[in-house]
Amino acid sequence: MVLSVVGVSHVFPGAVGDLSVLGDIDLEVRSGEFVAIVGPSGCGKTTLLNLMSGLDHPSVGSVELRGAPPVAGMPDLGYLFARDALLPWRTVLGNAELALELRGVGRAERRDAAARLLGQVGLAGFEDRYPAQLSQGMRQRVAIARTLVAHPSVLFLDEPFSALDAHTKLLLQETFSELWGGLGSTVVLITHDLGEAVAMADRVVLMTRRPGRIKRVVTVDIPRPRSPMALQDDAEYHRVFDQLWEELRQEVVESAEGILPAGSVEREGSPLWAQH
């Protein structure tokens, strides 16, 4: 096991009362595995990822990464978030080489590596642009290059494609899947998008509404290499999607109760939250 989460609960203390966010999570991730964690908005997905990646520490229970508590910033961990966090004063190349620069890799070597990776994410020729001159999708491609350039062995992705429009999202999922195929790193992907989870992961973990617990774990038997774009006709993809969809829908509806007018979310099979 690369990562193990044992009996983790998490509480955010607050002035008006404590907020219990995660309830008794047990989860193991094998080396080289791609695990997606899906759940309704606000159920504690980001909190769980932060605990798994050392950005925060659980109130109860323990998280171990190769036998020791994870520490954020460890060199073989990679992170990718919904917001690209590109440094606006650095060029595309300057952003992509950041991780290697911080590690003290020589200028020529890190520029080579960054340029190669930028080529792989489809940004050859854009090395000298500034982030403000790029589209949202291109910016996120730079962020992918920035994350992968240091060859992290464990990748933590928090809704990395959710700020993108539907087409760009598919293209980036495709690019990421391709690159990941050649890396062999372990991936934990947080998403609210069930289609994305099923298309990309080996295992999908479904969480309940807050306080998030694990409701169901399903293995996805679609052979690799996969192309998220070509899965629309795949029987296994639809089988897993449909199996999880009804359960996710229930959680979403119930967590929305009291927010939306009665009955407005009860239309059976409504693809309100599916991007499928």
Residues that bind Mg ion (CB under 5 A): 46
209 binds ligand ADP (CB under 6 A): no
Report the C-alpha gap between 212 and 232 in whole angstroms.
29
- State which of positions 99-118 bind another protein (CB under 8 A): 99, 101-102
- How many helices (H) and strands (E) in the chain? 8, 9
Q: Which is nearer to another protein, 145 or 194 (CB)?
A: 145
* Binding flag, residue 21, ligand ADP (CB under 6 A): yes
CA dist., res. 199 & res. 201, Å (int):
6
User: Are 175 and 228 in contact, with CB atoms under 8 Å apart?
Assistant: no
Question: Is residue 27 a contact partner of residue 16, using CB atoms and an 8 Å limit?
Answer: no
Of residues 30, 57, 83, 167, which one binds another protein by CB under 8 A?
83
43's contact among ligand ADP, Mg ion, another protein, none, with CB below 5 to 8 A by partner kind, is ligand ADP
Binding another protein (rule: CB under 8 A), the pick from 136, 232, 264, 270 is 136
Q: Which residues contact 33 (CB under 8 A, 6 or more apart)?
A: 2, 186, 187, 202, 203
Select from ligand ADP, Mg ion, another protein, none the partner in contact with residue 228, using the beta carbon and a kind-dependent cut-off of 5 to 8 Å: none
Measure CA of the first residue to CA of the last residue in the chain; give whole Å: 31
Q: Which is nearer to ligand ADP, 99 or 190 (CB)?
A: 190
- Contact (Cβ atoms closer than 8 angstroms) between residue 124 and residue 156: no
Judge if the upstream peptide bond of residue 225 is cis by omega within 30 degrees of 0: yes
Residue 18 token pair = 């404590």
Task: Using alpha carbons, select from 90, 68, 40 the residue that is nearest to residue 193.
Answer: 40
Task: Tell me the per-residue interface mask from 220 to 249 with another protein, x by CB under 8 A, - otherwise.
Answer: ------------------------------
Binding-site partner at residue 23 among ligand ADP, another protein, Mg ion, none, CB < 5 to 8 Å by type: none
For another protein, the closer of residues 136 and 232 by Cβ is 136
User: Min. distance of Cβ 40 from ligand ADP in angstroms?
Assistant: 7
Question: Interaction with another protein in 169-198: which residues (CB under 8 A)?
Answer: none
Spatial separation of the C-alpha atoms in residues 205 and 160, rounded to whole Å: 17
Q: Is 90 among the residues that bind another protein (CB under 8 A)?
A: yes
Q: Least distance from C-beta 49 to Mg ion, angstroms? A: 8
Are 72 and 10 spatial neighbours (Cβ–Cβ below 8 Å)? no
- What is the binding site for ligand ADP (CB under 6 A)? 12, 19, 21, 39, 41-47, 210
- What is the binding site for another protein (CB under 8 A)? 53, 55, 72-75, 77, 79, 81, 83, 85, 87-90, 98-99, 101-102, 129-130, 132-136
